[in-house]
Structure 1
Amino acid sequence: MTVGTQEEGLISRVREVFGRPVGDLEPLPGGHSGLTYRVTAGDNRYVVKAVPPRERPVGRNDMLRQARVLRALDGSAVPVPAVVAVDEEAPAWFAMEFVEGEAIEPVLDDQDVPADVARARMFEVAGVLRRLHGVDLSSLAADVPEPLSAAGELERWSRTMHAVPPELRPGAEELLRRLGDDVPEDLPPVLVHGDFRLGNVLCRGERAVAVLDWEIWSLGDPRTDLGWFLLFADHRNFPAVGRETEGLPSEAELLAAYLDGASALPAMDWFRALCRMKMAAIMGHNLRRHREGRRHDPDQERLPPTISALIRTARDVLG
């Protein structure tokens, strides 16, 4: 089935499920999993997310699972778009309200955000992450396998790193050894987003209005989300890729905002280093795919300095 054919079938189903006139599908950029469209029904706008052509509705492409977590969070202390329709008929899709706002990663995206606004947003989003980890969503446990342990996270991303050509990952073996020598005990699992950062949170002014992109949510250790969020606080973690952005909070300031007076989390430096290793592995994997001709993207050639920097700073974080 071609994309055009699928769009025709999808808009037909959207109109049928909505039960009222709906405009054409307008593709939205930025999503990495699933097809994302904006549609208009009367005076209202909605976002439709659907399974891509020739893809199975599992993992990142399980739209029904994404809809369930959004519905479970509706009305909680975590702002999310309201789900307005779910269609289990293939290709599965769901529709949610269209939320006005900016989802800008200050250290990576080209859009300019005033320094004071970017700083305020990062503190705001640190509080959103704390509230997310405090939500009781035990009813969703059936949607996920057993939470991945710290050792499991390390094993998973070590495999990805080892698939990267050695010349692209200088110092990685020492980093992996040091991480493996001191794996911390796990904390009780919480709901984790999986890619929590400012670029996945819509903001209006200094206020967070919707957390987006729930493709890889799971139950797990809160420090995996937190370490990933902290990684994006400093443009120096992304040489040749990031933008020099002055005035952002430091990792220590954001960690304090997340804790909000609570006791410090044990082994946080281990998770900060793990998340740097994870990002380096992902970037190395993407660069390898480009060089092998599997996904043509010349921008990937900018990544080697960042991969090296992430590995080096991860070792520094460990002391």
Structure 2
Amino acid sequence: MSTMQTRQSAPLANAPATEVDDSLVRAGLGEHLSRAAGGPVAITAFDRLSPGFSWLTYSFRARYPSGETRQLILRLGPPSGLFAPYSVLPQVYALQALAGTSIPVPGLVAHAEQGDVVGFPFFVCEHVAGHVTAPWTGSSAGEEHRLRIAEQFVDILGDLHRLDWAASALAELPSPDAAEGRMELRPIAGWRRLIARPMQRYYPLLDWAGHWLSENCPKPPRLTVVHGDYRVGNFLEDEGRITAILDWELTHIGDPHEDLGWALMPTFNAGSRKLYGVMEREQVLERYARRSGIPVSTRSLAFYEAFALYQAAGIQLCGAYAFEVDRCNDMRMAAMATRMAPIIRALDRAIEAAA
């Protein structure tokens, strides 16, 4: 039997996905925070922010029994999001481990893996000043401003990969027991399972690519915390300073080259081969190596650039699956499959270059 995964036609979903009722979420959140505070917590100014493709984000104010009012953020894992079903634990462990370090993250306030009275997995964190740059549209910021941000972005990644994760809450993530420490075999296997789910469309190259990635995964220079989605667009910046790194849901222990390969994808840099459109690849790698103390392997980076494209293809298919099978009523999910052809062509070239 072939080692590649078999595919089948997609079954039709029988029922629409569970909708998230914001009023019920608000009531449940108030009850959860009140119980933790030992008295009534009033939730005001509760607003769902512009939707992402995965977790739902809400901004709200919480007035505590002491009279203190805090501006907070709720992140909630919906039942039909891009990577449903969700776990809050990677994000919780990351925020706990990185509090007080040089890696800027929001402060963790509360969380519930099983959803508690809110109904869905969630966590609450502090509001952090700043705005998100949309990487696919470029930036109106000047080149000098973007260069400052790019330098901070690289330095923060270097600091993350130097972190003693084994002495932190991140030690609760799966332990490094994969063959020869190749922890990335786990996320590769996870992406292969997602891509192999029965759907309306079938892309044979993805079966072959998943097999090639599994067979050729390099041994890491060291095991580090891997953010898993480290890119322009997943941080807040305020007046030329990165104030928080966001979206730790794919955090795991693995090869630091994965974050580099993902961050350098032209998709996240307005189509440019330069980081944020201003920093040459060579500059990125040199600065990163100095900051992290980890030498960059050209071969490993090429492998993870191919893996990044494989993940990009998987993300598009997750969107299509959420729409076709889980009946998510977000038309952006349906449109994601239209990006498959150029991604697969780029993936084919990237594997050829890495082989």
> Is the shorter-chain TM-score for this pair beyond 0.5, marking a shared fold?
yes
Alignment of 1:129-148 (within 5 A): 129-138=157-166, 139-147=168-176
* AA of the residue aligned to 2:153: V
Q: CA offsets per residue over residues 184-240 of structure 1, 9 Å max, x none?
A: 1234322222211121111113321111122232222212222211224544489xx
Hey, what's the Cα distance between the residues in 2 that align with 1:307 and 1:96? 35
Hey, what's the Cα distance between the residues in 2 that align with 1:173 and 1:52? 28
* AA of the residue aligned to 1:315: I
**Native 8 Å contact 2:184 2:254 kept in 1:** no
**Native 8 Å contact 1:81 1:98 kept in 2:** yes
* AA of the residue aligned to 1:136: D
**2:5 corresponds to which residue?**
none
* AA of the residue aligned to 1:279: A
Please list every run of 5 or more consecutive structure 2 residues that lacks an aligned counterpart in the other structure. Answer: 1-17
Q: Secondary structure at the match of 1:23?
A: strand
**2:290 corresponds to which residue?**
260
State the TM-score, normalizing by the size of structure 1.
Answer: 0.78
Identity of aligned residues (%): 23
**2:133 corresponds to which residue?**
104
Hey, what's the Cα distance between the residues in 2 that align with 1:168 and 1:186? 32
Matching residue within 117, 121, 146 for 1:118: 146
Matching residue within 246, 251, 254 for 1:212: 246
Hey, what's the Cα distance between the residues in 2 that align with 1:109 and 1:279? 18
Q: How much has 1:78 moved relative to structure 2?
A: 0.5
Shift in alpha-carbon separation, 1:102–1:317, aligned structure 2, 3 A: farther
State the TM-score, normalizing by the size of structure 2.
Answer: 0.71
Q: How much has 1:36 moved relative to structure 2?
A: 2.8
Q: CA offsets per residue over residues 107-149 of structure 1, 9 Å max, x none?
A: x147644444334322321111111111123232552223462
Aligned residues: 310
Q: How much has 1:53 moved relative to structure 2?
A: 7.3
Please list every run of 5 or more consecutive structure 1 residues that lacks an aligned counterpart in the other structure. Answer: 239-243
* AA of the residue aligned to 1:26: D
Matching residue within 67, 71, 78 for 2:96: 71
**1:283 corresponds to which residue?**
316
* AA of the residue aligned to 1:25: F
**Native 8 Å contact 1:124 1:206 kept in 2:** no
* AA of the residue aligned to 1:48: L
Shift in alpha-carbon separation, 1:301–1:162, aligned structure 2, 3 A: closer
Give the stretch that moved more between structures: 265-274 or 159-168: 159-168
Matching residue within 30, 33, 38 for 1:14: 33
* AA of the residue aligned to 2:157: L
The reply to whether residue 127 of structure 1 matches residue 146 of structure 2 is: no
What's the RMSD between the two structures over aligned residues? 3.8
**Native 8 Å contact 1:168 1:284 kept in 2:** no
Alignment of 1:22-41 (within 5 A): 22-40=43-61, 41=63
Alignment of 1:40-189 (within 5 A): 40=61, 41=63, 44-50=70-76, 52=78, 60-62=86-88, 66-85=91-110, 89-91=116-118, 93-106=122-135, 108-109=136-137, 112-138=140-166, 139-147=168-176, 149-163=183-197, 169=203, 171-172=205-206, 175-176=209-210, 178-180=212-214, 182-189=216-223
* AA of the residue aligned to 2:27: E
The reply to whether residue 222 of structure 1 matches residue 256 of structure 2 is: yes
Give the stretch that moved more between structures: 252-261 or 197-206: 252-261
